[in-house]
Chains A and B, each alone.
Chain A
Amino acid sequence: MKLIQYVLNNYGLMGGLLLQHLQLTGIAILSAIAIGVPLGILITRYKSIAGPILAVSSVFQTIPSIAFFGVLIPFLGIGKKTAIIVLFLYALLPIVKNTYTGIKEVSPFLKDAGKGMGMTNMQILTMVELPQSLPVIMAGVRIATVINIGTTTIAAYIGAGGLGQLIFTGIQLYRNEMILAGAIPAALLAILIDRLFGCIEYKMTSKGLKGESI
């Protein structure tokens, strides 16, 4: 089979592109978590800005990725930097939104009990709200990551590298085995990362929230 032949001849190249892919997605997701979770928390505290912030981040979500890249190229040029910014903006909404909903859904009675027993605001956040909303926040991170792995393939279009490079080159050269050598690892990567996050989420979530008996 041509695909197997191709992989055997090019696994070095493929491995490099896979790492690049992971790097693009990884940087985008980590920064989206670093900004998105605090932002999500922040807007639960200042309700009036919650609407606008969620609206703005969902606008990013609705712009087709190709168009988004296209719009930013005149300002930022092509390459990794632009790609990461776009990927970051895509990842932001699910993370902000899930953090916001997760925390908002924590029972007001739990927060009241915590406050009434003498927790500081920070302790209410770290001891009550975050552990309670962790599954929802993690779900946001998972969605963002899976979407991002897909979108990263398109980033190759603006010269950011990654597995998308094989797909685009394959399309231009009419070489199906090249397309597949890019697409299959990208798909597997998405599934694998989703699983991995599922495990992390399970490990991090308190037994008390899983509704199982010990």
Chain B
Amino acid sequence: MLTFENVTKNYGNDTAVDALDMTIESGEITVLIGPSGCGKTTTLRMINRLIEPSSGHIYIDGVDIGKTDPVEHRRNIGYVIQQIALFPHMTIAENIALVPTLKKWSEQKKDERVDELLHFVGMPPETFKQRYPHELSGGQQQRIGVIRALAADPDIILMDEPFSALDPITRIALQEELIEMNNTLGKTIVFVTHDIDEALKLAGRIAVMKDGKIVQLDTPENLLRNPAHGFVEEFIGKDRLLRRPELIQVRDIMIAEPVTISPKRTLTQALERMRERKVDSLMVVEKEGRFVGVLTAGDVLDHFGRSMVVSEVVRTNVNRVPEDSNVSEVLAIMSTENVGYVPVVSDENILRGLITRSSLINVLGHGVTNGGGEA
């Protein structure tokens, strides 16, 4: 656990970090985010003592880092920066093994570690070990930057906008790798970015900073659900708040007039109605719109030609949701029940509308519906 206690950093009369209190949990990614100049880098660099606070204390697992030997302290913390900063005169192997070299590991131990880490990011050691940084692409270079920080197996890794100089496709790939990596390794990662999408994607918790202070430190979900401050809301962006499934009510996006049929109609009539309206299921409702169940085209065809009526075939054990439920609940039903539609009903079980997969996709885009289980 990493704790900031009343930490201030002044430059002359300017205050870069202002009486900061913060607790960073072990084993998860904490993202520091905020506008340019709000003190993210300064905060980060105080953790490995590249910057000393003007006042206050920082503790790692209860130990005041101000009382450690700074050089030794830094060797036990991984550090990755936007500029990548691989040493151009060293081979990839030498770059990765830098901290182990400083820690005087044996050549054999270093060599094994280098191979292990290169395999870890899918870069065959035979191909890459003896290359020099300029012989790698930007994305490959930053992969090396990341595993170099892991080399001596530190508990804490600091990353200052590590992916922001990369092209979008490479950036996404490295973000995915980082998430996966940390699911395996469980490092404490402090990650600085000014990209809110990146923060929402990576973070276990997000610290939103402004003018050297933390405005809110929370999980991405809580940040989106309850922005503590107008600034947070503004920073996250209103449209992004609206796109979050748990913030969208079903009444706002449901199909208000789904195609219905009475339980007393025949299956032939039901099929004709489906054909006419180009749908593959019908909402079965009694008079006054009381919801009975759902009739699908498959059910009709299974029983077809036996002169039955809708009430004999209708599925009544259908999951339904109230109008004020949110889209994320609907997504949960869709993914656990494996259904493509969820009827919306009032308290009196009157049919109000229908949510289908395709109506959701229109609202949320593909990514969210595929990951419906996240709700």
Q: Is A209 an interface residue when CB atoms closer than 8 A count as contact?
A: yes
Q: Separation in Å of the B84 CB from the closest CB of chain A?
A: 8
Closest residue of chain A to B148 (Cβ to Cβ) is: A117
Q: Is A9 an interface residue when CB atoms closer than 8 A count as contact?
A: no
Report, nearest first, the 6 A-B pairs whose CB atoms are least far apart: A208-B132, A118-B75, A206-B89, A113-B85, A118-B74, A116-B79
CB interface residues, B 65-105, toward A, < 8 Å: 71-76, 79, 81, 83, 85, 87-91, 98-99, 102
Q: Is B50 an interface residue when CB atoms closer than 8 A count as contact?
A: yes
What are the residues of chain B within 8 A of A105 when measuring CB–CB?
A: none
Q: Is A195 an interface residue when CB atoms closer than 8 A count as contact?
A: no
Sample of 9 more A-B contacts, CB < 8 Å, known A206-B88, A208-B133 = A113-B83, A118-B102, A123-B102, A205-B89, A206-B132, A208-B134, A211-B134, A214-B132, A214-B135
Q: Separation in Å of the A190 CB from the closest CB of chain B?
A: 30
- Please state if B90 and A208 are interface contacts (CB–CB under 8 Å): yes
Where chain B touches its partner, the secondary structure class is mixed
Q: How far is the CA of A61 from the CA of B144 in the complex (A)?
A: 46
- Please state if B135 and A213 are interface contacts (CB–CB under 8 Å): yes
Q: How far is the CA of A211 from the CA of B132 in the complex (A)?
A: 9
Please report the total number of B residues contacting A with Cβ < 8 Å. 29
- Please state if B102 and A107 are interface contacts (CB–CB under 8 Å): no
Number of A-B contacts (CB under 8 A): 72
Q: How far is the CA of A115 from the CA of B102 in the complex (A)?
A: 11
- Please state if A209 and B79 are interface contacts (CB–CB under 8 Å): no
The contact of A117 among B79, B130, B133, by CB within 8 Å, is B79
If A109-B83, A113-B85, A116-B79 touch, does A208 touch B91 (CB 8 Å cutoff)? yes
Q: Separation in Å of the B78 CB from the closest CB of chain A?
A: 8
Q: Separation in Å of the A112 CB from the closest CB of chain B?
A: 7
Question: B-facing mask of A183-214, CB < 8 A → 1, else 0?
Answer: 00000000000000000000001111101011
If A208-B132, A213-B135 touch, does A117 touch B90 (CB 8 Å cutoff)? no
- Please state if B98 and A117 are interface contacts (CB–CB under 8 Å): yes
Q: Is B48 an interface residue when CB atoms closer than 8 A count as contact?
A: yes
Closest residue of chain B to A207 (Cβ to Cβ) is: B132
Q: How far is the CA of A114 from the CA of B102 in the complex (A)?
A: 10
Q: Is B131 an interface residue when CB atoms closer than 8 A count as contact?
A: yes
Q: Is A128 an interface residue when CB atoms closer than 8 A count as contact?
A: yes
Q: Separation in Å of the B94 CB from the closest CB of chain A?
A: 9
Q: Separation in Å of the A131 CB from the closest CB of chain B?
A: 5
Q: How far is the CA of A214 from the CA of B81 in the complex (A)?
A: 27
- Please state if A110 and B134 are interface contacts (CB–CB under 8 Å): no
Question: B-facing mask of A107-135, CB < 8 A → 1, else 0?
Answer: 10110111111111001000110011000
CB interface residues, B 105-155, toward A, < 8 Å: 130-135, 148
Q: How far is the CA of A205 from the CA of B90 in the complex (A)?
A: 11
Q: Separation in Å of the B233 CB from the closest CB of chain A?
A: 34
Q: How far is the CA of A110 from the CA of B99 in the complex (A)?
A: 14
If A117-B102, A118-B99, A120-B71 touch, does A214 touch B88 (CB 8 Å cutoff)? no
What are the residues of chain A within 8 A of B76 when measuring CB–CB?
A: 118
